[in-house]
Amino acid sequence: MAWPAPPSGETQWRIGFLSLARHGKSLVLGPLIDTLNDQGAFASNSANQPLSRVIEANADDDEANFDLALFDLDDDDVHLVVTGSSPATYAALEHRDRNGVKLTKPVVMVVGTPPENLPNGVPHKTKTRPPNLTGIEHHAAEEIKGQASILDAVIQETFKDGSGTPVTLNVAVVVSTSNSAKLLQAGDTLTYLRTHFSRGQQPSVSANMDYIRVEESDTSQDLDVLPPGHRVYQIGSPAALPRLFDRIRRNSHNGVIVVGDQLLGLHRDDVIIAINDLHTHNPELKLPVVFSGTEDVATGGLMCYGPEHERLFKRVGPIIHQVCAKLNGSDPTPLTSIDYIRPSLEDMRVVVNFGTAKGHGVKIPDLTLLSTF
């Protein structure tokens, strides 16, 4: 199917791409351009130029900078905005309202959490579906259940003592502070673990022990051993990764869930090095770690459960195709006629690095027996 012609009087589509992190271009924009190319978006127009031009803007790893990035896209007079994360989606929806003008340009999110699906208490003005929003819903709910189930199965297999008594999970959830949506997902993961995988574990005495912020400058007194319990460990800088995993070891966690985002993705090698160094310096340690991306496992991570991003990104091109058809008038139906795409189990993948499992002394059961799948 041919790519829709630009609006009357114009020769080229201007598609804005908004991300939180500087490296969003390599993680999301590259696959996005590939799928747009497959759809014919860059075919030559009458002036022998590409039919579409993608203009990138990012918030330089700070959500406070989204307005500036969006003003840049305003200056380029983009026809629509594609967002590479949930924070970018919320910023795009609220940008014009904050500045006195209602946003009418379409917003297409690449794997984001629609505002109407946010729980009460999460700061966002819109609690109903904005008429200018479409795209792919985030996979957090499926990811949380799958990661917890896989980690539980691996922990039971690795630490079983022959008595038949289930091993009590004591899980550390790792998340960066740079992405508000991922912080929300980390909290949901903590709640899910406590609801389904506590096995008599007592709740924390203080809420201050539920969320631990780890800094590179932490000193020895910050490393007091905490009572057993699932916890969220927040990290603001990759330089704190060695301190983070050492603190997880000191608190005797027997499993880790890494809530991946663009910041931790950029420093994926540093995460894997910190985990490997921890095992090297503590030969008796066996610490199963589950990630969300296959890239983490390819780099040396133990295992992952999460979306096959390439598969999801390929589904964005047709959505943008439909949006452009509505903008040029060839499709008179409203944007809300394009349903959100919800990732299914077919979009999720389990990948295990058996070399890492052997090196870390972790035993992998038959994961196909899990009810999650």
Query: For 128-173, what is each residue's pLDDT tens digit?
Result: 888 889 999 888 888 899 999 999 999 999 999 889 899 999 999 9
When pLDDT is cut at 50, 70 and 90, the band that residue 372 belongs to is: very low
**Mean pLDDT across 246-271:** 89
Neighbours of 3 (CB within 10 A): 21
- Of 11-25, 27-41, 109-123, least confident by mean pLDDT is 109-123
* d(C-alpha 65, C-alpha 68), whole Å: 5
When pLDDT is cut at 50, 70 and 90, the band that residue 210 belongs to is: confident
Sole residue written with tokens 């993680």:
27
What's the number of domains the chain is made of? 2
Q: Are residues 314 and 288 in the same domain?
A: no
When pLDDT is cut at 50, 70 and 90, the band that residue 54 belongs to is: very high
% of the chain surpassing 90 pLDDT: 52
Q: Are residues 160 and 126 in the same domain?
A: no
Neighbours of 121 (CB within 10 A): 6
Residue 104 lies in a domain: yes
Q: Are residues 237 and 318 in the same domain?
A: no
Q: Are residues 123 and 256 in the same domain?
A: no
Q: Given a cut of 60, is residue 200 above it in pLDDT? A: no
How many Cα atoms occupy the beta-carbon half-sphere of 337 within 13 Å? 8
Residue 8 lies in a domain: no
How many Cα atoms occupy the beta-carbon half-sphere of 79 within 13 Å? 23
Residue 121 lies in a domain: yes
Q: Given a cut of 50, is residue 90 above it in pLDDT? A: yes
Residue 167 lies in a domain: yes
Q: Are residues 271 and 316 in the same domain?
A: no
Residue 7 lies in a domain: no
**Paired sense of beta strands 348-352 and 303-307, if any:** antiparallel
Q: Are residues 357 and 313 in the same domain?
A: no
When pLDDT is cut at 50, 70 and 90, the band that residue 368 belongs to is: low
Q: Are residues 185 and 298 in the same domain?
A: yes
Q: Is the pTM of this model over 0.85?
A: no
- Give the torsion sign (CA, 322, 328, 329, 330): negative
E strand or H helix at 235 = strand 231-235
CATH number at residue 35: 3.40.50.2300
Q: Given a cut of 50, is residue 373 above it in pLDDT? A: no
Four-CA torsion 114, 119, 125, 126, nearest 10 degrees: 40
Of the segments 162-171, 208-217, 222-231, which one has the largest average pLDDT value? 162-171
**Mean pLDDT across 254-268:** 86
Domain holding 81, by residue range, is 13-138+308-347
Q: Are residues 29 and 119 in the same domain?
A: yes
Which residue in 31, 9, 1 sits closest to 328, CA to CA? 9
Angle, CA of 62, 222 and 275, to the nearest 5°: 70
Residue 314 lies in a domain: yes
Q: Given a cut of 70, is residue 115 above it in pLDDT? A: yes
Angle, CA of 60, 116 and 183, to the nearest 5°: 45
Q: Are residues 150 and 165 in the same domain?
A: yes
When pLDDT is cut at 50, 70 and 90, the band that residue 277 belongs to is: very high
When pLDDT is cut at 50, 70 and 90, the band that residue 100 belongs to is: low
Summary mean pLDDT of the chain: 86
Q: What is the 3-state secondary structure (H, E, C) of 47-75?
A: CCCECEEEEEEECCCCHHHHHHHHHHHHH
* d(C-alpha 168, C-alpha 165), whole Å: 9
Q: Are residues 171 and 295 in the same domain?
A: yes
Written as six digits, the tokens of 26 are: 């390599």
Residue 5 lies in a domain: no
From residue 335, give the alpha-carbon distance in Å to each of 319, 327, 368: 10, 9, 40
The pLDDT value recorded for residue 206 is: 46
Which residue in 155, 177, 176, 180 sits closest to 166, CA to CA? 155
Q: Are residues 260 and 363 in the same domain?
A: yes
Q: 309-346: b or e for each residue (b if 16 or more CB lie within 10 Å)?
A: beebbbbbbebbbbbbbbbbeebeeebeebebbebeee
Q: Are residues 174 and 92 in the same domain?
A: no
* d(C-alpha 331, C-alpha 326), whole Å: 5
Backbone angles phi, psi at 256, to 5 degrees: -135, 135
Residue 1 lies in a domain: no
Query: For 298-356, what is each residue's pLDDT tens digit?
Result: 999 999 998 877 778 888 999 999 999 999 999 999 988 998 988 877 778 899 999 99
